[in-house]
A and B are shown apart, each in its own frame.
Chain A
């Protein structure tokens, strides 16, 4: 059982999770007719942006991950 708190469960098929140490992670469903999941840990700057903009930022970042799942080498398989 994960000890991460679900901050956002989006119909766009992603979740924003917060670990006990405060770290934020996006868990995003990617792929076409064969879906899979990748996880990207938010940087301090991204976490600040999320704090400022909320869900709109999370939507944008999740869509950017769907559009390029390797996400510059930052994503790991879920």
Chain B
């Protein structure tokens, strides 16, 4: 009786998979993506290595694997700033530019998108809701915004852990400080962040957030 049952089960399994042993194909392993530092120049690679040493045993590769698995990053700007510093200047890259490159803080797209979606009321975003979700003051999000998104893999952009010396860093002075920079890949509000170097304007998607 047991042998008959076993046979019936085996048969139904073969029916489910096509009754041919050759039809069962193992799922191919996910394609391994190169490190986001692969696109960096020697200077940025050296900065990234020093940052990884400081953050050890953590590092940029673990940070990306944990928080930026899809390699998609986003950031927010008030509409007026987007017009003044991106559109009117015809900027080629996002961020603060010096002789070494253009430096841009970004967060996981899913995190920002979720905060924005949650904040929408009657077709407009609520700054308090975005602020609370992203661990930042609501006043940072007042007025119409632009949300930029960049695929680090597709654009082959250089990225690494942000460091104290990066343009735009406002270092926290005490552990209680918020809205300021703490080394380690997370904002003082606990949101994952990454430093993107030379994020190309023409490869980013830009969404209006009324």
Do A33 and B170 have beta carbons less than 8 Å apart?
Answer: no
Could you say which of B75, B97, B107 contacts A35, with CB atoms under 8 Å apart?
Answer: B75
Assembled-state Cα–Cα distance A77/B78 (Å)? 12
Q: Which residues of B contact A (CB under 8 A)?
A: 74-78, 80-81, 84-85, 89, 91, 95-98, 102, 105-107, 112, 134, 136, 139-141, 162, 167-171, 179, 181, 187, 191, 193
B108 to chain A, nearest CB (A): 10
In whole Å, how far is A6's beta carbon from the nearest beta carbon of chain B?
10
A77 touches B139 (CB 8 A): yes
- Interface segment among A7-15, A18-26, A45-53: the answer is A7-15
Give chain A nearest CB distance to B101 CB in angstroms.
10
Q: Name B97's closest neighbour in chain A (CB-CB).
A: A11
Q: Are B167 and A66 in contact (CB under 8 A)?
A: yes
Q: Is the CB of A34 within 8 A of B170?
A: no
A residues contacting B by CB (< 8 A) are: 9, 11-13, 15, 29-37, 63, 66-69, 77-78
B140 near A12 with CB under 8 A, answer: no
B31, chain A: closest CB distance, angstroms: 28
Q: Are B75 and A66 in contact (CB under 8 A)?
A: no
- Please tell me if the beta carbons of A31 and B167 are within 8 angstroms of each other in the complex: no
Contact A37 B81 (CB under 8 A): yes
Q: Which of B74, B81, B167 contacts A33 (CB 8 A)?
A: B74
A34 to B134, CA, bound (A): 9
Q: Which chain A residues border B136 with CB–CB below 8 Å?
A: 34
